Amino acid sequence: MIPILLVGIFLFLNGLIMPFLSERLTKEHLLSNYSAEELAENQKKSSEYDYEGVSYLTSLSLLQSQAKDMVEKDKVPVVGDIVIPSVNIHLPIVKGISQYYLSIGAGEMRPEEKMGVHNYSLASHNFNDDRILFSPLRHINIGDKVYLSDKRNVYVYEVDDKEYVAPTQISVIEEGKKNKITLVTCSMSGKTRLVVTGPLVKTYSWAKTPGNVKDYFLGGRNDR
């Protein structure tokens, strides 16, 4: 009876700690903390693409990322934000892939990616809690809008496909010629990958972005 009770307490506390740690780590790196010039400079930096070092998200790995962030926060190459109002996603975009970067937000999956140009592919963690990273992506619908910004422009994409693929199907992130977005996260089983795609439908300069759209980036997380 006691072991079962302890497991229940652990799961309850874990359900409280994980969203808190994740949101705290994310907020430190949102676009509102940077100037357009800083984001542009980060885009020019070299970065790491450590696919093999990415593992399942846990409270321990989040704590490790939190500790690392206390030392390396200013070195994180944040290049902008991604916002998906329909599923309450608002995350920083980091140039590169690592366990640390994907604990902060969404990582660019290929070197030399540029918002609004060809296949802009991003990945982040999935966890059994819709408050954490790309976890809510499973609720996205065809026709939903995805917004990206580097504080110079805002790029609007419209979701037109959502599918689960094998982890080996890397063709989904190939550069291609069409201007579109590809969002990738693990399924809950870890055996497949959820891939969401959609074409670029509109681009605004930051100065001419409608106020309600700009508020997505400057107003924090959106209420459902």
Question: Pick the residue with more confidence: 103 or 219?
Answer: 103
Q: What is the CA radius of gyration of the chain?
A: 17
* Residue 164 domain flag: yes
Q: What's the domain count of the chain? A: 1
Report pLDDT for 2: 44
Residue 4 confidence (pLDDT) above 50: no
For the stretch 167-203, pLDDT in tens is 889 899 998 889 999 999 988 777 899 999 999 999 9
**What was the pLDDT predicted at 65?**
86
User: What is the predicted pLDDT for the residue at 122?
Assistant: 98
Cβ(85)–Cβ(134) below 8 Å: no
| Residues whose CB is less than 8 angstroms from the CB of residue 165 and which lie 6 or more positions away in sequence, other chains included | 172, 192, 193, 195
pLDDT, tens digit, 9 for 90 and up, residues 108-147: 999 989 999 999 999 999 987 888 899 999 999 999 999 9
Catalytically active residues, by annotation: 125, 186
Distance (Å, whole) CA 127 – CA 96: 20
Residue 174 within a domain: yes
Compute, in degrees rounded to 10, the torsion defined by CA atoms 137, 197, 22, 148: -130
pLDDT band at 16 (very low <50, low <70, confident <90, very high): low
Give the CATH number for residue 44: 2.40.260.10
The Cα–Cα gap between 89 and 221 comes to 7
- Judged by DSSP in three states, 8 sits in helix
CA dist 95 → 20, 120, 150, 200 (Å): 24, 12, 12, 20
Region 14-38 average pLDDT: 83
Residue 223 lies in a domain: no
In a domain, 53, yes or no: yes
For residue 15, being part of any structural domain is answered with yes
DSSP 8-state code for residue 49: B
